Amino acid sequence: MNDEIIYNAEIDCVGLYCPMPIAMTKEEIDKLKIGEILKIEADDPAAEEDIKAWAKRTGHEIIKFEKQGTILTFFIKKMK
């Protein structure tokens, strides 16, 4: 079974630190239509909490979160 998520846009925040992953996520999600999915990769340990809190605050849904070594991968669905 293939559980790969089809996403509409992707940003690479690896090597960037707060507040860049959040700033880039916000900028990119603003370009998407409702229901579209943004993939974010980051390696800033703070990004896990930051992006989860940002999604909750802004009403977007994290449909998948993965951690592989130092790489954090988020799939966020634009909800509004």
18 labelled catalytic: yes
From residue 57, alpha-carbon distances to 5, 11, 21, 60, 67 in Å are 23, 20, 16, 8, 22
CB atoms within 10 A of CB 25: 24
Hey, what are 43's tokens? 């390696």
* Dihedrals phi, psi of 43, to nearest 5 degrees: -130, 10
Choice among 9, 18, 20, 24 that is catalytic: 18
Task: Point out the residues that are catalytic.
Answer: 18
